[in-house]
Copies of this chain bind each other. A is one copy, B any other.
């Protein structure tokens, strides 16, 4: 790995060689991958990148901790669209808003970025089997990416995981263990099992390579913005690994001279489960919370990556915004109706947070904001119906249709523009 110097504990600073089977520090702290930015800067620039025709996350190889000879995994992960969302911006009273639709990844969430990287590292480690616990998306992304690469997978999900995600796991042929308990219970059982059988570990808070995959989302955003740095990047937060990864990507770009300043992060959590935001808001160490939100992907009462997440927020001068489940459902329809993007509840939570932050005057109306939609709404159709309601049912004749329009207050007249 030409540009990787090693790994370093974010808690005690202890250094490690970047072997494929890297986990946590002996002190319990999470490791961070350290790069030789001088070397990256020497070999690599926005200009060299512009000539790269690999339109996937693997276009950022110099920033990724994989061996040069390792092939990219089969599924095409990354280079999801960044939409300039003028209609949504207008609805929110914001000047400039971009929506990064990461629900268009192969298994329909941002987590594909981490799983794609995990598959490479598992292969570098010579493993035949890879495992994780997950609220759902890491699971389905691991199952899909592993299947395409010919690896076996063991996946631990809490039994509350939405049907769409479980169906993906089953279709991808994973060994799925639906744990009748909380996410915390699920995580602990996966940890014990991984230790017992020696599977490659794809738990993002244990394996430091995974947030390196996730960081490609901000590498892409900045390249798609032509290296113009937005004022804010908003995203939903559960375990903390995604926001930590997003921040790592930004710091990498800054250190390698691709950008000249850093945006501020907006961490959005559900009111019913916001241990990390509460820590930031109160200035006290985080403590566990119950998992009371329909945004299942961020219903994490015991976040597994608090140190990196809180450090990212602190370093970026970031802010913590909590939103209600009602605001999350409203953001689903708002994104759908103005921008044609269908996000799952946790996927749109970042956007709900932008709305709340604007209402509270915590971000100015003339700011440039990027909101990352982290997962596709098709994964959780029940919440979609809950947000937007059921359609009118009509007998197949015109009279019935006219009556239904009248009952719903719909005027079907065409108004030529």
Contacts and interface: CB of A to CB of B under 8 A. Distances in A.
A175 B333 CA distance: 14
B396 A186 contact: yes
A389 interface: yes
Contact of A396 (B144, B180, B198, B385): B180
A263 interface: no
A197 to B, nearest CB: 5
Given A81-B76, A167-B385, A144 B340 contact: yes
Nearest to A101: B106
A13 interface: no
Contacts of A150: 87
Contacts of A193: 398, 401, 412
A246 B404 CA distance: 38
Interface stretch (A121-129, A236-244, A362-370): A121-129
Contacts of A72: none
Interface stretch (A3-11, A252-260, A376-384): A376-384
Contacts of A407: none
B106 A173 contact: no
A82 B410 CA distance: 43
B106 A377 contact: no
A388 B171 contact: yes
A387 B173 CA distance: 11
Contacts of A339: 74, 147-148
B172 A340 contact: yes
A75 B81 CA distance: 8
Contacts of A107: 340, 342
Nearest to A172: B336
A310 to B, nearest CB: 28
Given A55-B55, A332-B171, A398 B340 contact: no
A197 B414 contact: yes
Interface string A384-417: 1101111111111110010010000010111111
A413 B128 CA distance: 10
A167 B381 contact: yes
B177 A401 contact: yes
A390 B170 CA distance: 7
Interface string A153-182: 010010100011011111111011111110
A37 interface: no
A337 interface: yes
Given A144-B336, A145-B340, A378-B378, 10 more contacts: A101-B106, A107-B340, A128-B417, A163-B385, A164-B378, A170-B388, A171-B337, A177-B401, A179-B396, A189-B394
Interface of A: 55, 74-76, 79, 81, 83, 87, 101, 104, 106-108, 123, 126-129, 143-150, 154, 157, 159, 163-164, 166-173, 175-181, 185-186, 188-189, 192-193, 196-199, 332-333, 336-342, 376-379, 381, 384-385, 387-398, 401, 404, 410, 412-417
17 contacts: A74-B340, A106-B340, A107-B340, A123-B417, A128-B416, A144-B342, A146-B340, A163-B381, A168-B336, A171-B337, A171-B384, A172-B337, A178-B393, A179-B394, A186-B396, A192-B398, A378-B379
Shortest 4 CB-CB contacts between residues of A and residues of B: A148-B340, A167-B384, A176-B391, A170-B388
